[in-house]
Amino acid sequence: MSMCTVEEVASSCDAIRFFQIYVHKRRDITAQLVQRAERSGYKAIVLTVDVPKLGRREADIKNKMVAPQLKNFEGLFSTQAVSDKGSCLEAYADSTLDASLNWKDIGWLRSITKLPILIKGVLTHEDAIKAVEAGVAGIVISNHGGRQLDYAPAAISVLEEVVHAVKGKVPVFVDGGVRRGTDVFKALALGAQAVLIGRPVLYGLAVKGEAGVRRVTEMLKDELELTMALSGCPTIKDITRGHVITDRERLHSSL
Protein backbone atom coordinates (compact mmCIF):
# COMPACT_ATOMS: atom_id res chain seq x y z
CA MET A 1 0.00 0.00 0.00
CA SER A 2 2.60 2.48 -1.09
CA MET A 3 2.11 6.09 -2.15
CA CYS A 4 4.99 5.71 -4.64
CA THR A 5 5.02 3.37 -7.60
CA VAL A 6 7.16 0.25 -7.92
CA GLU A 7 9.11 2.02 -10.66
CA GLU A 8 9.64 5.26 -8.72
CA VAL A 9 11.15 3.37 -5.79
CA ALA A 10 13.36 1.32 -8.13
CA SER A 11 14.74 4.40 -9.88
CA SER A 12 15.41 6.21 -6.60
CA CYS A 13 18.16 3.88 -5.37
CA ASP A 14 20.26 0.87 -6.27
CA ALA A 15 19.83 -0.92 -2.95
CA ILE A 16 18.62 -4.51 -2.88
CA ARG A 17 14.83 -4.22 -2.92
CA PHE A 18 12.14 -6.74 -2.00
CA PHE A 19 8.56 -6.07 -3.13
CA GLN A 20 5.74 -6.62 -0.62
CA ILE A 21 2.35 -7.65 -1.94
CA TYR A 22 -1.14 -8.47 -0.75
CA VAL A 23 -3.20 -10.90 -2.79
CA HIS A 24 -6.10 -9.07 -4.41
CA LYS A 25 -9.49 -10.53 -5.20
CA ARG A 26 -8.59 -9.60 -8.75
CA ARG A 27 -5.57 -11.83 -9.29
CA ASP A 28 -4.69 -10.01 -12.51
CA ILE A 29 -3.84 -6.94 -10.42
CA THR A 30 -1.51 -8.88 -8.12
CA ALA A 31 0.07 -10.56 -11.16
CA GLN A 32 0.65 -7.20 -12.86
CA LEU A 33 2.35 -5.78 -9.75
CA VAL A 34 4.61 -8.82 -9.45
CA GLN A 35 5.60 -8.51 -13.10
CA ARG A 36 6.32 -4.80 -12.69
CA ALA A 37 8.50 -5.58 -9.67
CA GLU A 38 10.39 -8.21 -11.68
CA ARG A 39 10.94 -5.79 -14.57
CA SER A 40 12.14 -3.10 -12.13
CA GLY A 41 14.85 -5.33 -10.66
CA TYR A 42 13.35 -6.26 -7.29
CA LYS A 43 15.07 -9.33 -5.86
CA ALA A 44 12.20 -11.03 -4.03
CA ILE A 45 8.46 -10.93 -3.46
CA VAL A 46 7.27 -10.65 0.14
CA LEU A 47 3.76 -12.05 0.44
CA THR A 48 1.97 -10.63 3.49
CA VAL A 49 -0.47 -13.19 4.83
CA ASP A 50 -1.73 -11.65 8.05
CA VAL A 51 -4.25 -9.29 6.49
CA PRO A 52 -7.11 -11.41 5.13
CA LYS A 53 -9.07 -8.56 6.66
CA LEU A 54 -7.79 -5.37 8.23
CA GLY A 55 -7.68 -5.58 12.02
CA ARG A 56 -10.06 -3.35 13.96
CA ARG A 57 -8.02 -0.16 14.21
CA GLU A 58 -10.17 1.93 16.45
CA ALA A 59 -8.08 5.09 16.11
CA ASP A 60 -8.53 4.90 12.32
CA ILE A 61 -12.28 4.42 12.76
CA LYS A 62 -12.55 7.30 15.23
CA ASN A 63 -10.46 9.61 13.05
CA LYS A 64 -12.28 8.52 9.86
CA MET A 65 -8.98 7.50 8.29
CA VAL A 66 -8.84 8.32 4.59
CA ALA A 67 -6.97 5.77 2.47
CA PRO A 68 -3.99 7.50 0.84
CA GLN A 69 -3.72 7.63 -2.92
CA LEU A 70 -2.10 4.30 -3.85
CA LYS A 71 -0.26 5.22 -7.02
CA ASN A 72 0.58 1.66 -8.07
CA PHE A 73 -3.06 1.09 -8.93
CA GLU A 74 -3.60 4.21 -11.03
CA GLY A 75 -5.46 3.26 -14.19
CA LEU A 76 -6.31 -0.18 -12.77
CA PHE A 77 -9.01 0.64 -10.23
CA SER A 78 -10.08 3.39 -7.87
CA THR A 79 -8.54 3.28 -4.42
CA GLN A 80 -10.87 6.00 -3.15
CA ALA A 81 -12.98 3.76 -0.92
CA VAL A 82 -15.62 5.51 1.17
CA SER A 83 -17.11 4.21 4.38
CA ASP A 84 -19.97 5.34 6.56
CA LYS A 85 -18.60 3.09 9.33
CA GLY A 86 -15.41 5.06 9.85
CA SER A 87 -12.12 3.89 8.35
CA CYS A 88 -11.86 4.21 4.58
CA LEU A 89 -8.68 2.11 4.72
CA GLU A 90 -10.72 -0.74 6.15
CA ALA A 91 -13.35 -0.29 3.44
CA TYR A 92 -10.60 -0.32 0.81
CA ALA A 93 -9.07 -3.53 2.24
CA ASP A 94 -12.49 -5.20 2.44
CA SER A 95 -13.30 -4.44 -1.15
CA THR A 96 -9.94 -5.33 -2.71
CA LEU A 97 -7.98 -7.90 -0.64
CA ASP A 98 -8.76 -11.60 -0.94
CA ALA A 99 -9.81 -12.93 2.47
CA SER A 100 -9.85 -16.49 1.09
CA LEU A 101 -6.04 -16.47 0.77
CA ASN A 102 -4.68 -19.97 1.52
CA TRP A 103 -1.62 -22.20 1.07
CA LYS A 104 -2.49 -22.99 -2.55
CA ASP A 105 -2.00 -19.33 -3.40
CA ILE A 106 1.72 -19.67 -2.79
CA GLY A 107 1.76 -22.24 -5.59
CA TRP A 108 -0.12 -19.78 -7.79
CA LEU A 109 2.36 -17.02 -6.97
CA ARG A 110 5.29 -19.31 -7.71
CA SER A 111 3.72 -20.11 -11.09
CA ILE A 112 3.73 -16.43 -12.13
CA THR A 113 7.22 -15.36 -11.00
CA LYS A 114 10.77 -16.62 -10.93
CA LEU A 115 11.60 -14.38 -7.99
CA PRO A 116 12.02 -16.00 -4.58
CA ILE A 117 8.92 -15.64 -2.41
CA LEU A 118 9.09 -14.77 1.29
CA ILE A 119 6.03 -15.18 3.47
CA LYS A 120 5.40 -12.39 6.02
CA GLY A 121 3.12 -12.80 9.01
CA VAL A 122 4.01 -16.27 10.35
CA LEU A 123 3.64 -16.71 14.14
CA THR A 124 3.69 -20.47 14.74
CA HIS A 125 6.01 -23.36 14.03
CA GLU A 126 3.13 -25.23 12.35
CA ASP A 127 2.68 -22.48 9.78
CA ALA A 128 6.43 -22.18 9.32
CA ILE A 129 6.63 -25.87 8.39
CA LYS A 130 3.69 -25.52 5.98
CA ALA A 131 5.31 -22.47 4.42
CA VAL A 132 8.55 -24.36 3.77
CA GLU A 133 6.53 -27.23 2.27
CA ALA A 134 4.73 -24.72 0.04
CA GLY A 135 8.12 -23.67 -1.35
CA VAL A 136 8.80 -20.27 0.18
CA ALA A 137 12.37 -19.00 0.10
CA GLY A 138 12.17 -17.28 3.48
CA ILE A 139 9.93 -16.56 6.45
CA VAL A 140 9.24 -13.23 8.11
CA ILE A 141 7.90 -13.74 11.61
CA SER A 142 5.61 -10.80 12.26
CA ASN A 143 2.40 -9.76 13.97
CA HIS A 144 2.21 -6.73 11.68
CA GLY A 145 3.66 -4.51 14.37
CA GLY A 146 0.79 -5.44 16.72
CA ARG A 147 -1.65 -3.72 14.36
CA GLN A 148 -3.83 -6.65 13.41
CA LEU A 149 -5.03 -8.72 16.38
CA ASP A 150 -4.90 -8.05 20.11
CA TYR A 151 -3.24 -10.92 22.01
CA ALA A 152 -1.28 -12.12 18.98
CA PRO A 153 2.09 -13.16 20.41
CA ALA A 154 5.06 -10.84 20.14
CA ALA A 155 7.14 -11.88 17.13
CA ILE A 156 10.33 -12.21 19.21
CA SER A 157 8.58 -14.65 21.56
CA VAL A 158 7.89 -17.17 18.77
CA LEU A 159 11.18 -16.69 16.92
CA GLU A 160 12.97 -19.62 18.50
CA GLU A 161 10.19 -22.17 17.92
CA VAL A 162 10.03 -21.17 14.26
CA VAL A 163 13.82 -21.33 13.85
CA HIS A 164 13.81 -24.85 15.33
CA ALA A 165 10.95 -25.97 13.09
CA VAL A 166 12.53 -24.59 9.93
CA LYS A 167 15.83 -26.37 10.64
CA GLY A 168 17.87 -24.00 8.47
CA LYS A 169 15.98 -24.91 5.27
CA VAL A 170 15.17 -21.24 4.60
CA PRO A 171 16.24 -18.01 6.29
CA VAL A 172 14.05 -16.69 9.10
CA PHE A 173 13.57 -12.95 9.56
CA VAL A 174 11.63 -11.14 12.25
CA ASP A 175 9.98 -7.76 12.68
CA GLY A 176 8.05 -5.90 15.34
CA GLY A 177 9.34 -3.74 18.15
CA VAL A 178 12.95 -3.47 16.99
CA ARG A 179 13.89 -0.13 18.51
CA ARG A 180 17.47 -0.60 19.75
CA GLY A 181 20.63 -2.41 18.73
CA THR A 182 20.04 -4.68 21.73
CA ASP A 183 16.78 -5.80 20.06
CA VAL A 184 18.69 -6.70 16.90
CA PHE A 185 21.26 -8.57 18.98
CA LYS A 186 18.54 -10.57 20.78
CA ALA A 187 16.85 -11.54 17.52
CA LEU A 188 20.15 -12.68 16.00
CA ALA A 189 20.98 -14.67 19.14
CA LEU A 190 17.62 -16.44 18.91
CA GLY A 191 18.34 -17.49 15.33
CA ALA A 192 17.03 -14.75 13.05
CA GLN A 193 19.05 -14.18 9.89
CA ALA A 194 18.12 -10.50 9.95
CA VAL A 195 15.53 -8.12 11.36
CA LEU A 196 13.13 -5.81 9.55
CA ILE A 197 12.24 -2.38 10.85
CA GLY A 198 8.95 -0.54 10.43
CA ARG A 199 8.05 2.48 12.53
CA PRO A 200 11.56 3.69 13.47
CA VAL A 201 12.13 4.33 9.77
CA LEU A 202 8.86 6.24 9.54
CA TYR A 203 9.70 8.29 12.64
CA GLY A 204 13.11 9.19 11.18
CA LEU A 205 11.45 10.12 7.90
CA ALA A 206 8.89 12.31 9.66
CA VAL A 207 11.53 14.18 11.66
CA LYS A 208 14.24 14.71 9.05
CA GLY A 209 13.41 13.01 5.75
CA GLU A 210 16.17 10.90 4.17
CA ALA A 211 18.75 12.12 6.71
CA GLY A 212 16.42 11.07 9.52
CA VAL A 213 16.12 7.55 8.12
CA ARG A 214 19.89 7.37 7.71
CA ARG A 215 20.31 8.46 11.33
CA VAL A 216 17.91 5.78 12.54
CA THR A 217 19.85 3.03 10.76
CA GLU A 218 23.18 4.47 11.98
CA MET A 219 21.90 4.50 15.57
CA LEU A 220 20.77 0.88 15.32
CA LYS A 221 24.11 -0.12 13.80
CA ASP A 222 26.12 1.76 16.46
CA GLU A 223 24.03 0.27 19.24
CA LEU A 224 24.37 -3.25 17.80
CA GLU A 225 28.14 -2.84 17.53
CA LEU A 226 28.36 -1.61 21.12
CA THR A 227 26.21 -4.51 22.33
CA MET A 228 28.46 -6.93 20.45
CA ALA A 229 31.60 -5.41 21.90
CA LEU A 230 30.21 -5.53 25.44
CA SER A 231 29.09 -9.14 24.95
CA GLY A 232 32.39 -10.41 23.60
CA CYS A 233 31.24 -10.81 20.00
CA PRO A 234 33.72 -9.47 17.43
CA THR A 235 31.55 -10.65 14.50
CA ILE A 236 27.84 -11.38 13.88
CA LYS A 237 28.72 -15.08 13.73
CA ASP A 238 29.94 -14.88 17.33
CA ILE A 239 26.44 -14.01 18.58
CA THR A 240 25.06 -17.26 19.95
CA ARG A 241 21.97 -18.57 21.72
CA GLY A 242 23.94 -18.48 24.96
CA HIS A 243 24.01 -14.69 24.89
CA VAL A 244 20.34 -14.30 25.82
CA ILE A 245 17.98 -15.62 28.49
CA THR A 246 14.31 -15.93 27.63
CA ASP A 247 11.29 -15.90 29.95
CA ARG A 248 11.00 -19.68 29.53
CA GLU A 249 14.49 -20.20 30.94
CA ARG A 250 13.76 -17.81 33.79
CA LEU A 251 10.68 -19.84 34.62
CA HIS A 252 12.60 -23.14 34.46
CA SER A 253 15.32 -21.81 36.73
CA SER A 254 12.74 -20.81 39.35
CA LEU A 255 10.92 -24.19 39.38
Phi-psi region of 68 (alpha: psi -120 to 50; beta: other; left: phi over 0): beta
Q: Which of 171, 199, 205, 243 binds ligand FMN (CB under 6 A)?
A: 199
Residue whose C-alpha is closest to residue 170's, from 119, 240, 206: 119
Whose Cβ is closer to ligand FMN: residue 83's or residue 120's?
Answer: 120
Catalytic residue among 144, 164, 243, 252: 144
Q: In what order do the strands lie in the sheet with 117-122?
A: 18-21, 44-48, 117-122, 138-141, 172-175, 194-196
Residues of span 127-146 touching ligand FMN by CB under 6 A: 142, 144-145
Answer yes or no whether residue 68 interacts with ligand FMN by CB under 6 A: no
Answer yes or no whether residue 1 interacts with ligand FMN by CB under 6 A: yes
Q: Which of 48, 83, 96, 227 binds ligand FMN (CB under 6 A)?
A: 48
Q: Which of 55, 177, 181, 191 binds ligand FMN (CB under 6 A)?
A: 177
Residues of span 98-127 touching ligand FMN by CB under 6 A: 120
CB of 176 to ligand FMN, least distance (A): 4
Answer yes or no whether residue 231 interacts with ligand FMN by CB under 6 A: no
Q: Which of 91, 132, 190, 197 binds ligand FMN (CB under 6 A)?
A: 197
- Quick check: is 24 catalytic? no
Whose Cβ is closer to ligand FMN: residue 47's or residue 165's?
Answer: 47
Residue whose C-alpha is closest to residue 145's, from 207, 218, 210, 195: 195
Q: Kindly report each contact of residues 59-68 with a partner whose C-beta sits within 8 Å and lies 24 or more positions away, as own/partner.
A: 60/86, 60/87, 60/89, 60/90, 61/85, 61/86, 61/87, 61/90, 62/86, 64/88, 65/89, 65/90, 67/91, 67/92, 68/1, 68/3
Which residue number has the CB closest to ligand FMN? 198
Compute CA distances 198 → 127, 155, 179, 204, 237, whole Å: 23, 13, 9, 11, 25
Q: Which of 86, 171, 198, 212 binds ligand FMN (CB under 6 A)?
A: 198
CB of 199 to ligand FMN, least distance (A): 3
Compute CA distances 247 → 110, 154, 180, 209, 251, whole Å: 38, 13, 19, 38, 6
Answer yes or no whether residue 175 interacts with ligand FMN by CB under 6 A: yes
**Active-site residue set:** 144
Residues interacting with ligand FMN, by CB under 6 A? 1, 20, 48, 120, 142, 144-145, 175-178, 197-199
